[in-house]
Amino acid sequence: MALLSLLTPFLAVILCLVAGFVLLKSRGTGTTLTSTDKTNTTSKVDFKPWVDQDLQDNTEITAKEDESDDWDGSHEEEGLAHVPYSPQRYPEKTMLERSRDFYSVMNQRRSVRFISPEPVPREVIDNVIHTAGTAPSGAHTEPWTFVVVSAPDMKHKIRLIVEEEEEMNYRQRMGDKWVQDLAKLKTNWIKDYLDIAPYLILIFKQTFGILPNGKKKTHYYNEISVSISCGILLAALQNVGLVTVTSTPLNCGPQLRLLLQRPANEKLLMLLPVGFPASDATVPDLNRKPVTDIAVYI
Ligand SMILES: Cc1cc2nc3c(=O)[nH]c(=O)nc-3n(C[C@H](O)[C@H](O)[C@H](O)COP(=O)(O)O)c2cc1C
């Protein structure tokens, strides 16, 4: 009994410590997310139906590439010679004129969904793609493949795939806001231009390269590089009086990649139907922001 009364204060202290520990732990689990929770929460909050899952690069591969034998570790361009570079330089007046003229050409570019079946010289297509290939790319990896389709049966197969997915996007996947945002453009899932346009150019980004020795090569910033290349392609088409409509066929990538027999490291980024505008083509009457709204000079 005497021993018990001697130990009571110690027991009380131990009891308080245990209670405090349990309390802190329960609060902690209430507010702290495990990494899996965080991923799940983020993916729920950030889920955007218009983001093509197929375009997500496999970050696991990138993270592990240094350890893996499949990846090439050489730095072939380390010894690259440097050569003089002196491009054309214009007097200020000419610069002003050229900047205005180029703006004027580009300001006439519109996304055209009514394309004429009239043939387009194949060499022009070669040249605009050659121009797109002048784009800068992460570590000069040139991670693009332009697949040009003119065969009517292949264009039709592409149309069937795109329309089937697009119908699902409009009817089920994307939600009311997306459908309302597109209503003003009067677009829908019927894409007859995919049969009619003389050329379909499908632009694939190469998520990594394959070297002659079979090893994989990192394609840094491949999506940004290919997007810049697509922008140059749009400008080159505009420059020769051809039209297109930028399209990013959501969820069609894997099917179109298989149809066109492209390798697994290629992912579809964009599909451009290309041709002359139909004689009765119309476009939405859109305005563009003035330069004062889009440029900030500091
Ligand atoms: C990344 C991107 C994806 C687009 N996807 C589509 C599409 O799937 N279908 C379509 O009809 N237009 C598509 N557009 C075209 C836009 O609707 C068009 O650029 C916009 O309405 C502005 O019109 P403009 O190109 O005539 O200036 C896309 C444009 C971009 C940049």
- In the reported structure, the alpha carbon of residue 233 is separated from the centroid of ligand 1 by a whole-number distance in angstroms of 15
pLDDT tens-digit readout, 200-217: 999 999 999 999 999 999
- According to DSSP, the residues that pair with 180 across neighbouring strands are none
- In the reported structure, the alpha carbon of residue 245 is separated from the centroid of ligand 1 by a whole-number distance in angstroms of 6
- Between 92-107 and 222-239, two packed helices, what is the crossing angle to 10 degrees? 90
pLDDT tens-digit readout, 262-281: 999 999 999 999 999 999 99
- Does residue 42 have a pLDDT over 50? no
- Does residue 15 have a pLDDT over 70? no
DSSP 41: H
Residue minimizing CA distance to atom 19 of ligand 1: 111
pLDDT (average), residues 132-143: 97
Question: How many whole angstroms from its chain centre is CA 96?
Answer: 33
What CA–CA distance (Å, rounded) separates 257 from 262?
A: 5
Domains in the chain: ranges and CATH: 119-277 (3.40.109.10)
pLDDT tens-digit readout, 167-184: 888 887 777 777 777 777
pLDDT tens-digit readout, 64-90: 555 567 888 776 667 899 999 999 999
Asked if residue 111 has its Cβ within 6 Å of ligand 1, the reply is: yes
| Three-class secondary structure of residue 271 per DSSP | strand
Instruction: Transcribe 112-170 into DSSP letters.
Output: -S-B------HHHHHHHHHHHTTS--GGG---EEEEEE--HHHHHHHHHHHHHHHHHII
What CA–CA distance (Å, rounded) separates 101 from 216?
A: 43
Which pLDDT score is estimated for 30? 35
Phi, psi angle pair for 118, to nearest 5°: -50, 135
Pocket residue to mutate for ligand 1, from 103, 108, 111, most atoms within 8 A of Cβ = 111
Whole-angstrom CA distances from 44 to 40, 49, 53, 172, 265 are: 6, 11, 14, 18, 28
- Per-residue pLDDT band at 297 (split at 50, 70, 90): very high
Of ligand 1's listed atoms, the one at least distance from the Cα of 110 is 26
